[in-house]
Amino acid sequence: MCCCTNNFNARPASASGSARPDAVVLRVDGMTCGHCVRAVTAAIARDLPGAVASVDLATKTLTVSGTTDAVAVARAVVSAGYTPVQAG
């Protein structure tokens, strides 16, 4: 069972953090290279129009600004073939 269908709760970025308050931050397992980053960011762009994805490949952290819908972000990550993991 995918975490998306199991009440997935990535943490929204805090206003005092580096991300905007209207953002979702989560770890993405399986990302290892630039191709992985492009696949994940393309899935976010396709599934969440208007949202902006930023990836830190060193920490495998995805920040999606312009949304607080963690489930939609997780589903987009899964559609790209990667595993979203709750941040924190």
pLDDT tens digit sequence for 10-62: 444 433 344 557 899 999 999 999 999 999 999 999 999 999 999 999 999 99
CATH of 23-86, one of 3.50.50.100, 3.30.70.100, 3.40.50.720, 2.80.10.50: 3.30.70.100
How far, in Å, CA of 64 to CA of 52, rounded?
5
7 pLDDT more than 60: no
Residues contacting residue 41 through CB under 8 Å, at least 6 positions apart: 53, 55
Packing angle, helices 70-79 and 34-47, rounded to 10 = 130
2 pLDDT more than 90: no
For position 22, what pLDDT does the model report? 85
